[in-house]
Amino acid sequence: MKRGGLVAIILMSLFAPSQAQYFQFSQYNFSNQRVNPAIIGTSKFMSASLLSRSQSTGGDFNINSNLVSFQRPFLNRSTGRAWSGIGVTLMDDRSGGIFRTEELAINYALNIRLTRFRILSVGFKWLHQARSISLNGFYTGSQYVPDRGFDGSLPSGENSDELRNSLNTLSTGIYWQQVNRKDQINAYWGISLFDINKPNDAFLKKENQLSSTFVLSGGFKAYQISELSIFPELLYSASSGDQVLNIGTRWQYELKKMPNQAGAQVELLTKYVVGRSGIVGIQFHKANLSLGISYDFPLFVTNPSNLGALEFGVELKKLTATRSSKKRTTKKTIKKPTTGTVIKKVPVKNQPIQKIIIDSTKITPLQSISLVDTIDAPIEIIKFDTARTQLEAEAGKITHQPLIVEKITLHFQFEFNSVDLDDETEKFLDQLSETLEEDKELKAKIVGHTDNVGSEKFNQKLSLKRAESVRDFLLKNGITKERINADGKGMSAPLVENETEEGRRKNRRVEIVLYYER
């Protein structure tokens, strides 16, 4: 055999325990489906990512690994929150042009929402792996010609089919996480078990059962000062008596938001794989894009299987749309409500109305709900005379224009990119549902608004999703869809200037107009 190939085979044999273990990338946030199959359904964003790694060894050859991942969550139509997710990964791993591994994996996860900010997920993974050892470049005695040397054109006498194998494995995991109002992770932990069916992974006919791998991952926000947050993390793997512990810290810095731009974070990675290598890296994250680069290097000990490894990662993300957001509601001719925050009675042309009566005793005024930055002007609630059962109005010519009886501006606690309803808001909408249920002719137009951070197209979709989150909550409470119309105005109709965070927070809102169709 050639000398270089012989050295490579010897090194591969020496490092077999390390290579047999379930391999993890250094930037494992780009390859979370390899860490735990339960992670994929916890985010509202669908994503596609690419992670590439080149690792140098003492055998004077490189180990090149490339991973392509795709994941898509499925959102609840009523709440807009992820209830499950599916993911696919493709990996190609090559060692010096000799040993090659190709993988295809399909992941599925199901979520159990514990509270609004805490979720527990269970995941499952099926993986097909094909491995081969290439004999190209190797010579045997059958190819030796006396007085001439080795002739590669002669048969080698080896059967390459014996150096190929494939297997299917099953894996599972559970994952818990806690997020803040911005859907940023405050703490997480996960336990996963890979290759639980222990298939035969021998190249030759002799049986060699693949060992299962146990993986424990976790991290939490330990400290925050101003825009800087510190996240200690660990990733522990154990298989066949071999253990790997990756510990370290993510230093996250929140970049200041610029007008018409989404917020972003820069992260510095400092980690140590105990007894093997150190890791440093930097990552950049925006709403729809993540980039990362890292470098592994020997630390404290000589590690001939890893003399240095460079990783590049990129991820593209997109906010997932619910099925209801894909449906276009029929637009109705509705009189545009007057700008402002005070509920008003609006007379209809040719219809002199003296009194408008609606049972708003069931509707809690905004001041009694703990919402963020309610508007300055008070809400004028039109009281209901419980001694009367009929709508009072002066006789007059009635047209087919809608009669607006009430306008409510709700400043829900919408953070950037958020469509979630908090508990207090849900209580308010429960009471609003009771009022709509008692007056079957009363209808509602729901309009969502955003601040000016992000593109116009993105904010248009986000504002519609906010309106639909309110509409879907009312639908879930039994109000028929014919009585509720949802629309989004994006950032086109701000209440105040978007120059400050205070102003942008006020502009993240939903307006509800109650009216009669006459």
Distances (CA, A) of 247 to 217, 219, 231, 250, 299: 10, 10, 11, 10, 14
Tokens encoding 153: 């054109």
Among 222-231, 255-264, 424-433, the least confident range = 255-264
**Residue 36: pLDDT over 80:** yes
With helix as H, strand as E and coil as C, how does 471-486 read?
Answer: HHHHHHCCCCHHHEEE
Tokens encoding 363: 């509707």
* Per-residue pLDDT at 39: 93
* Per-residue pLDDT at 263: 67
Does 182 or 85 have the greater pLDDT score? Answer: 85
* 141, 5 contact by CB (below 8 A): no
Q: What are phi and psi of 289, to 5 degrees?
A: -150, 140
Domains identified in the chain and CATH numbers = 3-320 (2.40.160.40), 324-517 (3.30.1330.60)
**Residue 244: pLDDT over 80:** yes
**Residue 389: pLDDT over 90:** no
Determine whether 294 is exposed, middle or buried from the number of CB atoms within 10 Å of its CB (0-12, 13-18, 19+): buried
Residue 328 DSSP label: P
Instruction: Report residue 322 CA to chain centroid gap.
Output: 14
Does 404 or 36 have the greater pLDDT score? Answer: 36
* Per-residue pLDDT at 378: 31
Tell me the average pLDDT of the chain. Answer: 76
Question: What distance in Å separates the CA atoms of residue 333 and residue 186, rounded to the nearest whole number?
Answer: 46
Q: How many CB atoms lie within 10 A of CB 132?
A: 17
Does 380 or 416 have the greater pLDDT score? Answer: 416
Does 49 or 7 have the greater pLDDT score? Answer: 49
**Residue 354: pLDDT over 80:** no
* Per-residue pLDDT at 403: 61
Region 190-201: mean pLDDT is 91
Percent over 90 (pLDDT), the chain: 32
Among 39-53, 143-157, 372-386, the least confident range = 372-386
Region 32-56: mean pLDDT is 92
Pick left, alpha or beta for residue 175 (phi over 0 → left; psi -120 to 50 → alpha; otherwise beta).
beta
SS3 287: coil
**Residue 425: pLDDT over 50:** yes
**Residue 410: pLDDT over 90:** no
* Per-residue pLDDT at 238: 93
Does 394 or 323 have the greater pLDDT score? Answer: 323
Distances (CA, A) of 24 to 51, 336, 370: 11, 57, 45
Q: Which residues pair with 517 in a beta bridge?
A: 402
Q: What are phi and psi of 465, to 5 degrees?
A: -65, -35
**Residue 161: pLDDT over 60:** no
Q: What are phi and psi of 14, to 5 degrees?
A: -65, -35
Region 235-246: mean pLDDT is 90
Confidence tier at 278 by pLDDT (50, 70, 90): very high
Among 101-105, 215-219, 406-410, 472-476, the least confident range = 406-410
Region 222-244: mean pLDDT is 91
* 433, 472 contact by CB (below 8 A): no
How confident is the model over 500-513, as pLDDT tens digits?
A: 888 888 888 888 88
Does 5 or 37 have the greater pLDDT score? Answer: 37
* Per-residue pLDDT at 501: 81
Confidence tier at 399 by pLDDT (50, 70, 90): very low
Confidence tier at 440 by pLDDT (50, 70, 90): confident
The sign of the dihedral angle between the CA atoms of 433, 438, 439, 440 is positive
* Per-residue pLDDT at 273: 93
Question: What distance in Å separates the CA atoms of residue 297 and residue 334, rounded to the nearest whole number?
Answer: 66
* Per-residue pLDDT at 152: 67
Residue with structure tokens 């508990």?
A: 423
Confidence tier at 472 by pLDDT (50, 70, 90): confident
